Amino acid sequence: MNLDLNGRITLITGGSKGIGFACAETLVREGARVAIASRDRANIDAALAKLPGAIGVAADFADAAAALAAIDEVEARLGPIDLLVNSAGAAKRTPVDELTPEAWRAGFDAKFFTYVNAFDPLVKRMAARGRGVIVNVIGMGGKVATPTHLPGGAANAALMLATTGLANAYAGKGVRVVGVNPGLTATGRVAEGLAATARSMGVDLEEARRREFAAIPLGRPATPEEIADVVAFLCSDRAAYITGVTIGMDGARYPAL
């Protein structure tokens, strides 16, 4: 693709692995100036070895102060952030009979507030400059309740509402806010989640994987790179009239509006 993203300063939370890393690779190829954030310095260093010209900051975005410090560091090193891709954090998948109030709270801390702590300061800075794009990589669990993903699904649903509300509030100030809902995607994080699904089904891991893949009409999970291509398009001016929506990417598994 040629999306004319040359020089766009981009922060990708969760950018050292999985979908976040695939987004970083794609946006680097498109000419963006990329910063990745992750809690783990070793993961950042491993990712940067494959991302020419990118920089990394180590921070836990579940902590608002740490998130703000990371944002300030990126802007001090690269300049004002034009593009934010939120892909950090995931709620632990837990069978419903193992849930506790603490598990629900942990789910929101892991997924909802990691995103809030990035987009809250940045949407205001972008609005003050009159430009910016925020893409929240959320997940289909926000639209379809599953017994092994209730805290994470509830956090995803909250993120979908926040995405739409922020887009409505800031469209007149030059900021677009969009969501992407991946379904099952071939990442290590999803592989870990299949273990909880297997326990819930009472089957082994391979049988759980077989059933999950068979339920996708396209017959396979998405690749991280397929999600990243859509994210990159949404970041570009070719998507200039797309805001306030969350785009499903689940291989038609959930035929819902």
Task: Tell me the pLDDT tens digit for each residue of 41-84.
Answer: 999 999 999 999 999 999 999 999 999 999 999 999 999 999 99
Helices (H), 97-222: 101-107, 113-129, 150-170, 188-201, 205-214
pLDDT at 192: 67
pLDDT band at 198 (very low <50, low <70, confident <90, very high): confident
Extents of the domains making up the chain: 9-249
Domain spanning 9-249: CATH superfamily: NAD(P)-binding Rossmann-like Domain (3.40.50.720)
Short-list 256, 232, 248, 227, CA closest to 156: 248
Query: Residue 191 above 70 pLDDT?
Result: no
Instruction: Of 34, 37, 35, give the one whose Cα is nearest residue 5.
Output: 34
> What pLDDT is recorded for position 97?
87
Tell me the pTM: 0.91
Pairing of strands 33-38, 83-86: unpaired
Per-residue model confidence as pLDDT tens digits over 101-155? 999 999 999 999 999 999 999 999 999 999 999 999 999 888 888 887 899 999 9
pLDDT over threshold 70, residue 188? yes
